[in-house]
Amino acid sequence: MAYYKDLPDNLKSNSLTDKEAIRQSIRNIINTRKGSVPGKPDFGCPLDSYLFEQLDDTLRDLLIGDINTSLRKWEPRINVEDVNVEFQEAYNRIDITINYSYSIVRTDDYESITISIDTQV
């Protein structure tokens, strides 16, 4: 019988598994259109609402605010330290880098994840 596994078998360590699960959760939250999950109308991040907006400082501030709000609400295992938004106009892409620490374990470890969003449809 086949069943769903979100991590490969070679990741046996709990700390690695937990860290990778958190990274995947962050990706899922950021890449899920708000209102698209049945029963959870507030789940996700409304990045799609900015698809045809001008790439400027106002948009950067709105994106940072929405990302912070979404992650604080839906991923309690992390503390968002910083969100950096870079516009790659030549590639029709927005690069979002999220720096975070773990709130479930007291540690000096900081992680970073970069998510790229295509602005061209």
Q: Over the stretch 79-103, which tens digit does the pLDDT of each residue have?
A: 999 999 999 888 888 999 999 988 8
Q: Over the stretch 25-61, which tens digit does the pLDDT of each residue have?
A: 999 999 999 989 999 999 999 998 888 888 899 999 9
Distance CA 72, CA 95 (A): 20
pLDDT tops 80 at residue 121? no
The pTM score is 0.75
